[in-house]
Chains A and B, each alone.
Chain A
Amino acid sequence: MPSAPAGTLYRGREGMWSWVAHRVTGVLIFFFLLVHVLDTALVRVSPEAYNAVIGTYQTPVMGLGEAGLVAAIVFHAFNGIRIILVDFWAKGPRYQRTMLWIVMGLLVVTMAGFLPRHLMNVFGGGH
C-alpha cells in the first residue's frame, strides 16, 4: 500500500466520512428494497399472507428499525443532492464541507418531524 499523500482535500475529513456514510446507507437501503419488494409481492399470494408479514413491520423492534431506515434514506437523499451540487455547481467543491453540515441539519429537522409521529404510531396504544 502506498502511503497517503499529504494535504489531500478529502482523506480522513468530512468529505471522506460523508462518502463512507453514503455507501453504507446506500447498501443498507438497497438490501431493504429487495426485502420490501418481496414482502409486498405477498399481496399476490393472499390477504392473510400479506397481513401476517406486514404485521411484523408494526412491532416495536421493527418500528425502531424503520426509524433507522428512514434516517438512512433521508441522509442518502440530502447528501446525494450535496454530491450533485459539488459536481455541477461552480462553487460546490468550495462549500462541500458547509453543505455537509446543512445536510446534517436538514436530517435532524426531518427526523424531528418524522420520529414523534412514527414512534407514537408504533408505541401508542391506539389499536
Chain B
Amino acid sequence: MATSTRTSSSLAAPRSRSVGRGTTRGNYELYSWVFMRASGVVLVVLVFAHLFVNLMVGDGVKAIDFAFVGGKWASPFWQIWDLLMLWLAMIHGTNGVRTIINDYAERDGTRLVLKLALYTAFVVVTVLGTLVIFTFDPCPADAPANLLASFCTA
C-alpha cells in the first residue's frame, strides 16, 4: 500500500476516478477494453475471409506466389481490406501483448524493456506493411514475365 501524506480534506471520495494514482491517466484502459472487443468483431470477418480466399479457394497455399499477390493488390478492394486488417490486427495484438507484459513482468525495468521492444516492433511492422501495400508494383519491368500476373503481359 502506498502511504499518503495528504490531509483528510484532500482525500477522494470512495471509488472516485483515479485521484492520486499516477499510473492511471484518464479512461485509457476503458477505451483499450472497448477497442479489443470492437476490433475483434471486425477482425473475425477480415481474417476469416483472408484465410478462405488464400487457403481454401483453388489450390490454397500451393497457389500463393508473386503473381497471386499481384493479382490481389491490383484491386483497391484488397488493398483497403489488407490495410484495415494490418492496422486492426497490429493494434489488437500489440495491446494484448501489452496486457500480458503488465500481468507477468513484475519489475519496472523489465516491463519498460519489453514494452519498448513491443512498440518498436509495432511501428516497424505497421509502417513497413502499409508502405508495401501502397508502393507495390505488380508488374516490375525487370522481372521475368512468367513470374508475373497474366495482366502484366496482356
Q: Do A and B come from one complex?
A: yes
Chain A contact residues, CB within 8 Å of chain B: 23, 26-27, 29-30, 33-34, 37-38, 40-41, 43-44, 46-48, 50-51, 54, 57-58, 63, 66, 70, 73, 77, 80-81, 83-84, 87-88, 114, 117-118, 121-122, 126-127
Docked pose: A73 CA to B140 CA in angstroms: 34
Which residue of B37, B56, B125, B147 contacts A48 across the interface (Cβ within 8 Å)? B147
Q: Check B66 for interface membership: any CB of A closer than 8 A.
A: yes
**Distance in Å: Cβ of B10 to nearest Cβ of chain A:** 31
Q: Do B128 and A43 have beta carbons less than 8 Å apart?
A: no
Report A51 CB to chain B, min CB distance, Å.
5
- What mask results when residues 42 to 70 of chain B are scored 1 for a CB within 8 Å of chain A, else 0? 01100110010001100111101111011
Chain B residues with CB under 8 Å of chain A are: 37, 40-41, 43-44, 47-48, 51, 55-56, 59-62, 64-67, 69-70, 86, 89-90, 93-94, 96-97, 100, 121, 125, 128-129, 131-132, 135-136, 140, 143-144, 147-148
Q: Could you tell me the distance between the alpha carbons of A119 and B100 in the complex, rounded to whole angstroms?
A: 33
Partner of B143, one of A47, A73, A81, A121: A47
Say whether, besides A70-B51, A81-B44, A121-B59, A47 and B144 are in contact (CB < 8 Å). Answer: yes
Q: Beyond A46-B140, A77-B44, is A58–B51 a contact (Cβ under 8 Å)? A: no
Given contacts A26-B93, A40-B69, A66-B61, contact A47 B148 (CB under 8 A): yes
Given contacts A38-B128, A50-B66, contact A27 B100 (CB under 8 A): yes
CA distance A38 to B131 in the complex (A): 12
Which residues does chain A contribute within 8 Å of B135, judged by CB atoms?
44
